């Protein structure tokens, strides 16, 4: 793949070419007829060398400062409604090699897909409501609260509790909440299968599958530091395909908090969260990413990820029938 520096240099060079003084042969062709070819030459060539020098310096300055820190491209803006926006990236070798061992699960393509058409407004509302009700049972004191719907893990203060060990969880979460989760999970599973060219039945839901709530509060533990660049396959060993469902709007519910892919062509590609927007991507090192720090407001999202390895498969989350006796409160 070509680097962004090369691409930009070439583009600018073409654009700037037309602005540069004409070459000697071009000048010659445009000289008025009848004038002596060898007539007196003014001091023009020196001016031209000087002007050219300034222009070249200007172009180099633009190229240098334009590419020094890379460039940024929006993959999906919050204000637009994206039906199906895909970007293919060459699969990383280690990722591809690992997946070769799982038949039916090798992607035909690696990369990303963003869609605002997969999850309905009412489904997004229902899931946001689960996140809010569940998180009301605890909450981090730092900037990141997570609620894992499968294990019941919920940030509380600087630690985690298990909401399924609380009697109050049964009053707060209902059977229908889990039905909503399952419907949305199944839609995403099918879309992942379809987009990456794998059989949906060879994808298994894996842990953690969690709601996240991010805000601008200073981090108190490492779990609050959500903004570090990472590769999901390394952070969450079992992930092969990651999906994120956004439950809040960038620029309206919160500032900062955009999702950023850091690409090898010296380009950052951003996904601005939009309520109901699903972003899915292969979890290997072709998709290094981070979340910008939220500067104000509250950002909600749901992570739903799939593994090809049956030993990491989890069942769809359900509300446990009743808390174990010794843990009843």
Ligand X SMILES: O=C(O)CCC(=O)C(=O)O
Query: Taking the complex as a whole, how short is the minimal distance between the CB of residue 289 and Fe ion, in angstroms?
Result: 6
Return the sign of the alpha-carbon dihedral for residues 220, 221, 223, 228: positive
Binding flag, residue 232, Fe ion (CB under 5 A): yes
| Token reading at 228 | 């570090």
Residues 32-51, buried b or exposed e (16+ Cβ, 10 A)?
eeeeeeeeeeeeeeeeeeee
Sites for ligand X among residues 32-51 (CB under 6 A): none
Question: From its phi and psi, is residue 152 left (phi > 0), alpha (psi between -120 and 50) or beta?
Answer: left
Query: Taking the complex as a whole, how short is the minimal distance between the CB of residue 8 and Fe ion, in angstroms?
Result: 28
Q: How many CB atoms lie within 10 A of CB 221?
A: 14
Sites for Fe ion among residues 14-33 (CB under 5 A): none
Rank residues 189 and 242 by Cβ distance to Fe ion and give the closer one. 242
As annotated, the active-site residues are 299
Choose which of 303, 307, 312, 317 interacts with ligand X (CB under 6 A).
Answer: 303
Binding flag, residue 301, ligand X (CB under 6 A): yes
Query: Taking the complex as a whole, how short is the minimal distance between the CB of residue 223 and Fe ion, in angstroms?
Result: 14
Q: Which residues contact 145 (CB under 8 A, 6 or more apart)?
A: 135, 138, 139, 154, 155, 212, 213
Residues shown for the chain: 329
Sites for ligand X among residues 240-279 (CB under 6 A): 244, 259
Binding flag, residue 286, Fe ion (CB under 5 A): no
Rank residues 68 and 228 by Cβ distance to ligand X and give the closer one. 228
Beta strands 144-148; 254-256: pairing state: unpaired
Residue 247 interaction partner, one of ligand X, Fe ion, none, beta carbon < 5-8 Å per kind: none
279 within 8 A of 114, measured Cβ to Cβ: yes
Choose the stretch contacting Fe ion; rule: CB under 5 A; options: 57-65, 95-103, 147-155, 231-239: 231-239
Per-residue contact flags (x/-) with ligand X for residues 54 to 93, judged by CB under 6 A? ----------------------------------------
Distance linking the first and last C-alpha atoms of the chain: 59
Residue ranges of alpha helices (H) inside the chain are: 4-17, 24-30, 44-68, 93-99, 121-135, 168-172, 175-196, 232-235
Q: What is d(CA 233, CA 269) in angstroms, rounded to the nearest whole number? A: 19
Query: Taking the complex as a whole, how short is the minimal distance between the CB of residue 195 and Fe ion, in angstroms?
Result: 18
Binding flag, residue 283, ligand X (CB under 6 A): no
Binding flag, residue 211, ligand X (CB under 6 A): no
Query: Taking the complex as a whole, how short is the minimal distance between the CB of residue 289 and ligand X, in angstroms?
Result: 6
Q: Which residues contact 48 (CB under 8 A, 6 or more apart)?
A: 21
Choose which of 280, 291, 294, 304 interacts with ligand X (CB under 6 A).
Answer: 291
Residue 115 interaction partner, one of Fe ion, ligand X, none, beta carbon < 5-8 Å per kind: none
Query: Taking the complex as a whole, how short is the minimal distance between the CB of residue 232 and ligand X, in angstroms?
Result: 5
**Nearest CA-CA partner of 113 in 189, 182, 192:** 192
| Token reading at 251 | 């620029």
Choose the stretch contacting Fe ion; rule: CB under 5 A; options: 61-69, 114-122, 206-214, 232-240: 232-240
Question: Contact residues for ligand X (CB under 6 A)?
Answer: 212, 232, 235, 244, 259, 289, 291, 301, 303
Question: Contact residues for Fe ion (CB under 5 A)?
Answer: 232
């Amino acid at each position: 793949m070509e680097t962004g520096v090369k691409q930009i240099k070439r583009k600018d060079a073409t654009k700037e070419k037309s602005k540069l003084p004409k070459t000697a042969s071009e000048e010659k062709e445009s000289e008025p007829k009848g004038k002596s070819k060898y007539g007196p030459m003014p001091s023009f060539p020196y001016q031209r060398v000087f002007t050219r020098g300034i222009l070249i310096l200007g172009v180099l300055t633009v190229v240098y400062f334009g590419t020094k820190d890379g460039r940024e491209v929006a993959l999906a803006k919050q204000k637009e409604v994206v039906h199906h926006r895909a970007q293919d990236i060459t699969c990383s070798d280690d990722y591809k090699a690992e997946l070769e061992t799982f038949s039916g699960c090798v992607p035909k393509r690696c990369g990303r897909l963003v869609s605002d058409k997969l999850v309905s407004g009412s489904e997004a509302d229902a899931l946001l409501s689960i996140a809010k009700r569940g998180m009301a049972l605890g909450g981090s004191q730092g900037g990141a609260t997570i609620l894992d719907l499968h294990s019941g893990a919920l940030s509380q203060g600087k630690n985690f509790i298990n909401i399924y060990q609380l009697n109050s969880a049964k009053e707060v979460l209902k059977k229908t909440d889990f039905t909503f989760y399952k419907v949305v999970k199944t839609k995403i599973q099918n879309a992942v299968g379809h987009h990456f060219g794998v059989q949906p039945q060879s994808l298994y839901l894996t842990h953690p599958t969690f709601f996240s709530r991010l805000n601008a509060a200073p981090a108190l533990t490492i779990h609050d530091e959500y903004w570090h660049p990472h590769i999901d396959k390394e952070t969450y060993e079992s992930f092969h395909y990651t999906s994120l469902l956004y439950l809040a709007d960038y620029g309206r519910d919160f500032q900062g908090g955009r999702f950023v892919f850091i690409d090898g062509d010296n380009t950052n590609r951003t996904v601005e969260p939009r309520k109901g927007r699903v972003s899915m991507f292969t979890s290997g090192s072709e998709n290094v990413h981070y979340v910008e720090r939220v500067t104000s407001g509250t950002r909600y999202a749901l992570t739903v990820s799939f593994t090809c390895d049956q030993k990491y498969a989890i069942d769809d989350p359900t509300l446990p029938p009743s808390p174990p006796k010794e843990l009843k409160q």
